[in-house]
Structure 1
Amino acid sequence: MNFLRDVFRFYISSSIHVALAVLAFFFITALEYNFKPPITTSAFIFLGTISAYNFVKYASIAGLHHRSLTNSLRAIQVFSAICFLLWIFLAFHLSFTTLLFVALFGVTTVLYAVPIIQHRSLRMFSGLKIFVVAFVWAGITVIIPFIASELAITTDVILTFIQRFLIVVVLILPFEIRDIPYDALALKTIPQQIGIKNTKNAGLAALAFSLFIEFFKKTSEVAYITSLLLFSIILGLAVFISKKDQKRYFSSFLVEGLPILWFVMYVTFKTI
């Protein structure tokens, strides 16, 4: 039992879960537009997400306490290093254009974590954190699949990018609500600025708008619309019941795993 608990904690703490969520979004885009992105690109995104998230989460801790790291943190460090090396290896198998666009989102990630601008990282700028993360997620999971597959980015793709951006913003809100007691007031997160109730209302409004965007696309698919609607209802419910005092894995497992559920629902409806 302890072994399974440790495996689960490693699965969450090492960012495998969030990487699968990003990959789910990535494949949802490919399914929506009926193409298969190169497997190397999919693996590149998965490994890159693990490397980036663990860098953001643990770089400062490892630097300050490298002599007294716990065994679990050391294991995550080694795991992250292996993922990073494999990520570098796969980079040589991607086109220059793909790497160029990945670099754009990669630089944004670095600026998010490293205090370069005015001795502050992007996450420290008032109210900016959630939108930076949403921009990177939307770019990696909507734009990159098309670039890697050498497909044109149409108006519909731009609408999907906006849709995904809004969805990711809403997906982060339960984390923002959970972290109210811990976030510095200078961050001016959405819940800090407008309160929990208004944050939930804003999240539900953003989800409604993301659904409304679907009507502006030239081509739509019943399976996609149905799965998107169900996903939005579940995500909206998760935002609605979010509170500061959450169960340990409510946000980091249940909420963060919703993109995976959406992918499963989409595949199911698409095969019926």
Structure 2
Amino acid sequence: MKVLKHVFNFYINSSVHVALSVYALSWITLIELDIMYDENVLYFIFYATITGYNFVKYFGLAKFHHRSLADWLKVIQIFSLLCFVMLCYYAIKLETNTLLTIVLFGVITFLYAIPFLPKRIFLDSQQNLRSISGLKIYVIGLVWSGVTVCLPLLNNDYIFDVDVVITALQRFLFVIVLMFPFEIRDLKYDSLKLSTIPQSIGVKRTKTIGVLLLAIFLFLEFLKDDIDSKRVIIHFIITLITLMLLLLARKNQGQYYSSFWVESIPIIWLVLILIM
């Protein structure tokens, strides 16, 4: 049992679970727009998510404690390096337009973790995009929607029409709501200077905004030119699941409530689509 717990913790802490969620959302984009499974872009997104998230999460630890890294962090570093190699392998198979867009998202990820501007611009000593007041959740929403919608379509030379714009907006709103349980959880850890949404308006109002965003997310499905009844049903189910986990989120939540259950929603979404 102890071994299984270590394996599960590695699965969460090494960002494999979040990478599966991003992979799932990317595949959903291809399915909804009737595009064939694109192994190259989907696998690239999977390995890039692991590499990017681990870089953001552990850069500071590796920078300041590289001589005395805990064993678990060393393993994650090696694992991340292997994922980076796989990332490069699939990157060379992608279209030029896709690679140019990847560079843009890569720069955003880099600036999200690395100090790069004068301290006077920031509200704490981190000096990166992550530390700018109130910006964190929108950066994540933008990157997730861009990666899971734009990259798969660019790599397949798909024309960006109104349905694509609506899908990207839906994805942005969906990811923002997914972030709310994390921000509620982190109330006891985050500096007040970050001005996260729960810090600014409180948990109850944050959940109210989440409900409104989910309503918009579902409503937008009816504005598409191609409306599919099965897809609408699946969107409704996913909206209900997300709503339930949002409303049950609290400051003192379980260890895996957000990091596993909330981040499992995109995977559940993909499974429903594949079943139906």
Please indicate the TM-score interval, normalised by the length of the shorter structure: over 0.9
The answer (yes or no) to whether the contact 1:159–1:217 under 8 Å persists in 2 is: yes
Q: Is 1:229 aligned with 2:236? A: yes
RMSD: 1.0
The answer (yes or no) to whether the contact 1:37–1:149 under 8 Å persists in 2 is: no
Structure 1 moving runs of 4+ over 4 Å: none
Which residue of structure 1 aligns with residue 273 of structure 2? Answer: 266
Which residue of structure 1 aligns with residue 60 of structure 2? Answer: 60
3-state SS of 1:202 partner: helix
Q: Which amino acid aligns with 1:211?
A: L
Query: Could you tell me how far 1:176 is from its partner in structure 2?
Result: 0.1
Aligned pairs (5 A) from 1:81-160: 81-119=81-119, 120-160=127-167
Separation in structure 2 between the aligned mates of residue 160 and residue 117 of structure 1, nearest angstrom: 34
Which residue of structure 1 aligns with residue 170 of structure 2? Answer: 163
Q: Which amino acid aligns with 1:216?
A: L
Query: Could you tell me how far 1:199 is from its partner in structure 2?
Result: 0.2
Query: Could you tell me how far 1:213 is from its partner in structure 2?
Result: 1.0
Which residue of structure 2 aligns with residue 197 of structure 1? Answer: 204
Separation in structure 1 between the aligned mates of residue 207 and residue 46 of structure 2, nearest angstrom: 30
Which residue of structure 1 aligns with residue 47 of structure 2? Answer: 47
The range that moved more, 117-126 or 8-17, is 117-126
Q: Structure 2-normalised TM-score? A: 0.95
Q: Is 1:69 aligned with 2:99? A: no
Separation in structure 2 between the aligned mates of residue 223 and residue 108 of structure 1, nearest angstrom: 36
User: Is there any run of 5+ residues in structure 2 with no aligned partner, and where?
Assistant: 120-126
Q: Which amino acid aligns with 2:181?
A: P
Query: Could you tell me how far 1:220 is from its partner in structure 2?
Result: 1.5
User: Is there any run of 5+ residues in structure 1 with no aligned partner, and where?
Assistant: none
Which residue of structure 1 aligns with residue 124 of structure 2? Answer: none
Separation in structure 1 between the aligned mates of residue 86 and residue 117 of structure 2, nearest angstrom: 30
Kindly, what percent of the aligned residue pairs are identical? Answer: 45
Separation in structure 1 between the aligned mates of residue 59 and residue 80 of structure 2, nearest angstrom: 11
The range that moved more, 47-56 or 93-102, is 93-102
Q: Structure 1-normalised TM-score? A: 0.97
Query: Could you tell me how far 1:182 is from its partner in structure 2?
Result: 0.7
Q: Give the aligned length.
A: 269
The answer (yes or no) to whether the contact 2:59–2:113 under 8 Å persists in 1 is: no
Q: Is 1:257 aligned with 2:268? A: no
The answer (yes or no) to whether the contact 1:37–1:148 under 8 Å persists in 2 is: no
Q: Is 1:208 aligned with 2:210? A: no
Which residue of structure 2 aligns with residue 79 of structure 1? Answer: 79
Which residue of structure 2 aligns with residue 24 of structure 1? Answer: 24
The answer (yes or no) to whether the contact 1:191–1:199 under 8 Å persists in 2 is: yes
Separation in structure 1 between the aligned mates of residue 270 and residue 16 of structure 2, nearest angstrom: 16
